[in-house]
Structure 1
Amino acid sequence: MDYRTKAINCVKDTVLPVQMQWFQDCGFNMDTYCQKYGDTEHSFAKEIEKGHIYEMGYPKCVCEEALAGGKDASFCECSRQSMIYVLENMMPEKHIEVEIIETVLSGAEKCRFKVTVE
């Protein structure tokens, strides 16, 4: 499955514009963004290493397709790809890496990702 294309189609007209506005409101600073918008009903973000490493995720699975059933943890690659897409749009001059730490579909309580910004 092409998770990258699936992820882009899922977030380009919904999540991306909101996140871009929030990022702009924070002066295009990821640390400020984490402080201001790091704890919402649908997502979380916290600074691990200033300007470089963050933990981001969801307090529960937010993917309607996954929640409909029949998906295993490999499907969480779609969430990883959506994070990469959004963050690359927020910071086009940076190299973004996103690593899955744990997900609801893998049996965890929440979905957690390590984000590295270079």
Structure 2
Amino acid sequence: MDYREKAVRCVRETVLPVQMAQFEECGRSLDAQYRKYGDTEGFFAKVLQPGHRYEVGYPKCVCPEVQRGDVTDAAHCECSRQSVLYILEQLLPEKRITVETVETVLSGGTCCRFLVTVE
């Protein structure tokens, strides 16, 4: 499965415009955006090292396919990782972004958490 393509289709018209608007409002600063919007319903973000490392995620799985019971395989969480990566690549196209999966609900975690590095 091409999770990148699936992720882009999922967030391009929904989450990306919201994140882009927040990013612009916060002076195109990911640190400022995450400090202001990093504790909202359905999403969290922490600045671990300003300008460089972040933890982002969801308190529960937000995938509609998982919520409907269509998907139970933790491999599907690659779609969420790709979503985070895609959004950040759109916000910071001049930067190199890596996103590592820390834990996901489908893999037995208490939430879905990703470690982001911006270089």
Q: Which TM bucket (shorter chain)?
A: over 0.9
- Alignment-derived partner of residue 62 in structure 2: 62
State the alpha-carbon separation in 1 of the partners of residues 110 and 81 from structure 2: 17
Say what the alpha-carbon RMSD is for the aligned residues.
0.7
Tell me which amino acid in the other structure corresponds to 1:33. Q
Post-superposition, which runs of at least 4 consecutive aligned residues in structure 1 deviate over 4 A? none
Establish whether residue 37 from structure 1 lines up as the match of residue 27 from structure 2. no
Establish whether residue 19 from structure 1 lines up as the match of residue 39 from structure 2. no
- Alignment-derived partner of residue 78 in structure 1: 79
| Structure 1 SS opposite 2:109 | coil
Shift of 1:66: 1.4
Q: How many residues align?
A: 118
Tell me which amino acid in the other structure corresponds to 1:94. K
Shift of 1:49: 0.7
In structure 2, the gaps of 5 or more residues are none
In structure 1, the gaps of 5 or more residues are none
State the alpha-carbon separation in 1 of the partners of residues 9 and 50 from structure 2: 31
State the alpha-carbon separation in 2 of the partners of residues 68 and 2 from structure 1: 20
State the alpha-carbon separation in 2 of the partners of residues 76 and 48 from structure 1: 23
- Alignment-derived partner of residue 98 in structure 2: 97
| Structure 2 SS opposite 1:104 | coil
Structure 1 length-normalised TM: 0.98
Establish whether residue 51 from structure 1 lines up as the match of residue 32 from structure 2. no
Q: Deviations over 1:50-109 (max 9, x none)?
A: 110000000100001012223211100000001111000001111110000000001111
| Structure 2 SS opposite 1:17 | helix
Tell me which amino acid in the other structure corresponds to 1:80. R
State the alpha-carbon separation in 2 of the partners of residues 48 and 91 from structure 1: 18
